[in-house]
Amino acid sequence: MEWEKLLCDDRIRSYRGSGSGDLRTEFEKDYHRIIQSASFRRLQDKTQVFPLDRSDFIRTRLTHSLEVSSYGKSLGQNIARSILTKIRDDTFLPSYAADICNILQCAGLLHDIGNPPFGHFGETVIRDWFRENLDGLTYNGTKLTELLTPQMQQDFYAFEGNTQALRLVTKLHYLVDEHGMNLTKALLGTIIKYPVSSLQIDKNSGDIRTKKMGYFHADREVFEAVQESLGTNGRRHPLAYILEAADDIAYLTADIEDAFKKGCITFADLLKELKTAGSGAEDAGYDNIVQKLEAKYEKAVAKGEDAPEEYAVQNWIVQVQGLLIASATEGFTQHYGAIMDGVHRVELLTGTPGERMSHALGDIAFRYAFTSKPILKLEIAAEKILYFLLDEFVRAVLYYDTGRKLTAVQEKLLSLISKNYLAIYRRYSREQSEQEKLYLRLLLVTDYICGMTDSYAKRLYQELSGQWQG
- 206, HSE (Cβ side, Cα atoms, 13 Å): 2
Give per-residue burial for 347-360: e unless 16+ CB within 10 Å, then b: bbbbebbbbbbbeb
* pLDDT surpassing 90 at residue 377: no
pLDDT band at 53 (very low <50, low <70, confident <90, very high): low
233 vs 179, residue with greater confidence:
233
* pLDDT surpassing 70 at residue 1: yes
* pLDDT surpassing 90 at residue 389: yes
- What pLDDT sits at residue 21? 74
Q: How many CB atoms lie within 10 A of CB 19?
A: 4
The whole-number average pLDDT for the span 94-109 is 97
* pLDDT surpassing 60 at residue 19: no
The whole-number average pLDDT for the span 115-142 is 94
pLDDT per residue as tens digits for the range 205-224 = 999 999 999 999 999 999 99
Provide the mean pLDDT of the chain.
93
pLDDT band at 467 (very low <50, low <70, confident <90, very high): confident
pLDDT band at 127 (very low <50, low <70, confident <90, very high): very high
The whole-number average pLDDT for the span 321-341 is 97
- What pLDDT sits at residue 17? 55
* pLDDT surpassing 70 at residue 52: no
Nearest of 119, 33, 32, 39 to residue 418 by alpha carbon: 39
Distance in angstroms (rounded) separating the CA atoms of residues 25 and 184: 11
* pLDDT surpassing 60 at residue 438: yes
Distance in angstroms (rounded) separating the CA atoms of residues 10 and 226: 10
The whole-number average pLDDT for the span 243-259 is 95
The whole-number average pLDDT for the span 427-437 is 94
* pLDDT surpassing 90 at residue 228: yes
* pLDDT surpassing 70 at residue 16: no
**What proportion of the chain, given as a percentage, has pLDDT over 90?**
83
How open is the CA angle 105-109-115, to the nearest 5 degrees?
150
3-state secondary structure of 222: helix
* pLDDT surpassing 80 at residue 18: no
* pLDDT surpassing 70 at residue 470: no
The whole-number average pLDDT for the span 302-316 is 93
Q: Are 413 and 392 in contact (CB under 8 A)?
A: yes
* pLDDT surpassing 70 at residue 156: yes
Nearest of 404, 389, 388 to residue 438 by alpha carbon: 404
* pLDDT surpassing 60 at residue 452: yes
Q: Does the domain spanning 3-13+23-238 belong to CATH 3.40.50.170?
A: no
- What pLDDT sits at residue 307? 92
- Any idea how long the chain is? 470
- What pLDDT sits at residue 279? 80
51 vs 124, residue with greater confidence:
124
- What pLDDT sits at residue 84? 96
49 vs 449, residue with greater confidence:
449
Distance in angstroms (rounded) separating the CA atoms of residues 459 and 468: 7
* pLDDT surpassing 90 at residue 370: no
Residues forming beta bridges with residue 416, ordered by sequence position: none
Residue ranges, CATH 1.10.3210.10, the chain: 3-13+23-238
- What pLDDT sits at residue 360? 96
Distance in angstroms (rounded) separating the CA atoms of residues 338 and 336: 6
434 vs 53, residue with greater confidence:
434
| Strand 142-143 relative to strand 138-139, pairing | antiparallel
Nearest of 318, 196, 156 to residue 249 by alpha carbon: 318
- What pLDDT sits at residue 336? 98
Q: What is the DSSP letter of 183?
A: -
The whole-number average pLDDT for the span 412-422 is 94
pLDDT band at 57 (very low <50, low <70, confident <90, very high): low
The whole-number average pLDDT for the span 271-287 is 87
Greatest Cα-to-Cα distance within the chain, rounded to the nearest angstrom: 77
- What pLDDT sits at residue 51? 66
* pLDDT surpassing 70 at residue 176: no
Lowest mean pLDDT among 282-296, 354-368, 428-442: 282-296
pLDDT band at 284 (very low <50, low <70, confident <90, very high): confident
Distance in angstroms (rounded) separating the CA atoms of residues 216 and 222: 10
The whole-number average pLDDT for the span 33-42 is 93
pLDDT per residue as tens digits for the range 65-98 = 999 999 999 999 999 999 999 999 999 999 999 9
- What pLDDT sits at residue 466? 83
